[in-house]
Amino acid sequence: MAAFRMPTFVRRFARNRRGATAVEFAMVAAPFMALLLGIVDLALAYTASIALDNATQAAARTIRTGQNQSPSGSTAQETARLGFRDTICANMGFMSSNCASKLTVDVRTVTDFSSIALSSPIQNGVFDPGSLQFQTGGASQIVLVRVYYQWDLYAPLMNTAMVKLPGKTLLTSVTTFRNEPYNL
């Protein structure tokens, strides 16, 4: 009885190593590109966070020195809040184009530094700006400024790691200070 022999074309195909590198690269390319996209996405979010911090500090100085005061009346307060938001957006650099639609501010006075409570504006996975205020306080009062920017994430794995909102993360900048005695 003759031994079973593989056809010659199957033996040649099994021994041939041409194209092995292309197949190995195809198996490694997708995870490598996903990792690279995640690194770029994280770097952009970090850069945006630094830009948000710098813009918040610059805009908060207008409150600290008494240049930006909360007027009385809800319409006037809303106008002042939007003006403060626009001041921050003007200092955001590459993020200033759609900043007004993604940025929300919360400015409130507190009695002392130890009584500051930082509650999250995210309730049940939804950003709720209803609890945010705009009270710049008077001379020598302590003011808490919180700024929220809804940052879009693009890398698929970053959505599961950083997401606080559907497809987005909430970049936050916080500063607390005592207003200068500007009415002397």
Contact 121, 132 (CB under 8 A): yes
pLDDT at position 161, please?
67
pTM of the model: 0.79
Low pLDDT (below 70) residues in the chain = 1-6, 9, 13-14, 70-71, 73, 156-163, 183-184
pLDDT at position 184, please?
57
How confident is the model over 91-131, as pLDDT tens digits? 998 888 889 999 999 999 998 888 888 888 888 878 888 88
Residues 6+ apart with CB under 8 A from 127: 104, 121, 148, 150, 165, 170
Q: What are the structural domain ranges in the chain? A: 19-178
Backbone angles phi, psi at 160, to 5 degrees: -80, -25
To the nearest 10 degrees (0 to 180), the angle between helices 74-90 and 20-64 is 130
